[in-house]
Chains A and B, each alone.
Chain A
Amino acid sequence: MRVLGIETSCDETGVALYDSEQGLLAHALYSQVGMHADYGGVVPELASRDHVRKLLPLCDQVLAEAGCSRADLEAIAYTAGPGLIGALMVGGSVAHAMGLAFDCPVLGVHHMEGHLLAPMLEEHPPAFPFVALLVSGGHTQLVRVSGIGEYELLGDSVDDAAGEAFDKAAKMLGLPYPGGPQVSALAEKGIDGRFRFPRPMTDRPGLAFSFSGLKTYTRNTIEALREQGDLDEQAKADVARAFEAAVVDTLTIKCRRALKAADCHRLVIAGGVSANKRLREALETMADKQRAEVFYARPEFCTDNGAMIAYAGCQRLLAGQHDESGIVATPRWPLDSLAPIP
C-alpha cells in the first residue's frame, strides 16, 4: 500500500510517501521556525496560514522525488492531533478532499504515535515490546509499547515539557527561539560542575516528571549572577551546562526506572529533544549498564515530519482502519486511548 503522509500539527509542514513493500520513498519538510522566532514562540494563526501555502507544493515535491504520479496514491494519512486546532484542520481538510478525489481511504493519525514509531523507519528497528521516552516541546512521557496501539502510560510531566523548559531557559539566557539547540550549543562552552541544579522528582520513586521547579531554579541562579555583576558569557555557558545536565540526568534516571518497571530491554527515544547529543550519550551509557539497547530515529525524523505519519498511518490502514466520520482534528488526545490494531 502506498500512503501519502501529511503533518501539520504545529509549526512544520511535513509530507512523505511510504510504501508498505518498498519502505519510505520520499519525504519533504518546510519548517516555519524562522518565522515564529521573531515572536518568541509559535503564533497559531501564522502557522495555519503557512500550512495552507506550503502543503501542496511539498506534496508535488515528494511525488516528483519518488518518481510517482498522483494516481499512484492508495491512501492518505494525516495528523489528527494532538496539536494546534487550526493547523490540524488544514491537513485534515486537504487529506480528506484528496481521499474523496482519489476515492481512497483516509486516516487521522496520532502525532505522538507517529513519533514513537519513527525509529521503525531506520535500518535496525526495535522489536516490541519497548519503553519509549517521548520528549519534545509539548510532551515528556514514558510509555510501554507492546504493539501498535498498545500503549501504557508509565510517566508524564506534571507541568512543563522538557523541550518547553529548554525554550524557557534559552529565553532567560537571552538566546533566540527555539531554544533547545541554542542552550545545548552554549552548554558545550560551559564548565562542568560550576553549578549543580536539582534533578526534579528523582529523590522519590515514580516515573512522573516536573520541570517547572528547575526553570525557577535557573531563573534564580541567573538573577543572582546578574545582581553580583557576574553574568558574563562564561557564566551563561556554565548555567546552560548545569541546566542541560540536570535535564539529561533526570530523563536518564527515569528511563532506567521505566525499563526496570516495564521489564524491557529496549528503549526508544523520540521527539525533538531526542536529537540532543548529551541525552543520547547518557542514555547509551545507562543502557549499556542495564544490558539494554537504545533506538532513535535519524535527526530529521526526531522533530515533526511527514514520514512518521505516513508510516504509522500505513500500519493502521493495512489493518483496515480509516476515518469513518470525516475530518478529525483533536487538539487534546491521550495516547493511551488509542485502539490496538487487530
Chain B
Amino acid sequence: MNLLAVDTTADACSAAILMQDGRIHERCIVEPRGHTRHLLPMARELTHATGLSLSDMDALAFGRGPGSFTGLRIATGVVQGLAWGLSLPVVPVSSLATVAAGAIRQHGLSDGSGIAVAFDARMGEVYWGCFVQRDGLPEPVSQECVVAPESVTLPAGDGRPWFGAGSGWRLSDQFPASVSQTMEACYPDRIPHAADIARLALGPAESGQGVPAEEAIPVYIRDEVAWKKSGS
C-alpha cells in the first residue's frame, strides 16, 4: 500500500509518502504560517522523489488535531480536495498520538512505556493525552482533553515508566508534581511529523477503516470556546 500523509497542526508543515515496501520519504519545514505555501509543493515533490504519482496512492492520512485551528484546517482542506479528486479513503490521525509515536521511535521507548503528550493550547490550557507503547505504536489510555496545566493527570498507579513529549511540557512547572516528577525524561521539542502519521495510519488503512473525503474533519477538542452569545 502507498500512503500519503500530511500535517499542519503546529508551526511545522510536513508531508510523507509511505511506500509499498515500507520505505518512508518525508519533507518537513518549520515556518509559522507557511503551510499554505509549502504543503502542496511538498506533496508534488514527494511523488517525484518516490517515482510515484498521486494516482498510485491507496490511501491518505492527515493530522486531525488537536492543534492550531487555522493550521489544521489547511491539511484537512488539502486532504479533502485530494481524496475527493482521487476517490481515496482518508485516515484521520490524532496529533497527540503522532507525537507519542515520534517519541517512541526517536528515543527507543520500550514496550509498556507510558507517553504523556502535552501541546500548548494557549488561553492557559494544554491539550493532553496519555499513551502506552504496544508493538512499537502508541495506544491511547486516556481521553484526549484540553485542561489547565495544574489539572493534568496520569492513569492511576500503573507503575510503568512515563515519558513526557510535546510543546506543552514547556509549561511543566505548572503541572502537578505527581505528574512532572514521575517522568523518566521529557521531550518538549517533539513536533508532529507526517512520517509518524503515515506509520499510524497504515494499519487502519489496510483494514479498511479510512473514511470518505467529506468525513475527513478536524478534531478541535476545544469546542466550547467562549464565543459570547449576544445578550449573555
Contact = CB atoms under 8 A, between A and B. Distances in A.
A40 interface: yes
A89 B80 CA distance: 13
Grouping DSSP codes into helix (H, G, I), strand (E, B) and loop, the A interface class, with mixed when no group exceeds half, is helix
Interface stretch (B37-45, B154-162, B181-189): B37-45
Given A98-B85, A100-B44, A49 B229 contact: no
Nearest to A8: B77
Interface string B135-152: 000000000000000000
B84 A101 contact: yes
Contact of A326 (B41, B87, B227, B229): B41
A97 interface: yes
B81 A95 contact: yes
Contacts of A48: 69-70, 73
A57 B227 contact: no
B37 A93 contact: no
Contact of B40 (A39, A59, A327): A327
Given A94-B77, A97-B40, A326-B41, A102 B213 contact: no
A39 B228 contact: yes
B228 A56 contact: no
Contacts of B95: none
Interface in A307-332: 325-327, 329
A236 interface: no
A291 interface: no
A43 B227 contact: yes
B74 interface: yes
B225 interface: yes
Interface of A: 38-41, 43, 45-46, 48-49, 52-53, 55-57, 59-60, 70, 85-86, 89-102, 177, 325-327, 329
Given A39-B227, A97-B77, 20 more contacts: A39-B229, A40-B231, A52-B217, A56-B213, A89-B74, A89-B77, A90-B77, A92-B36, A93-B36, A93-B81, A94-B77, A94-B81, A96-B40, A96-B78, A97-B81, A98-B84, A99-B81, A101-B54, A327-B37, A327-B74
Interface of B: 36-37, 39-41, 43-44, 54, 69-70, 73-74, 76-82, 84-87, 213-214, 217-218, 220, 225, 227-231
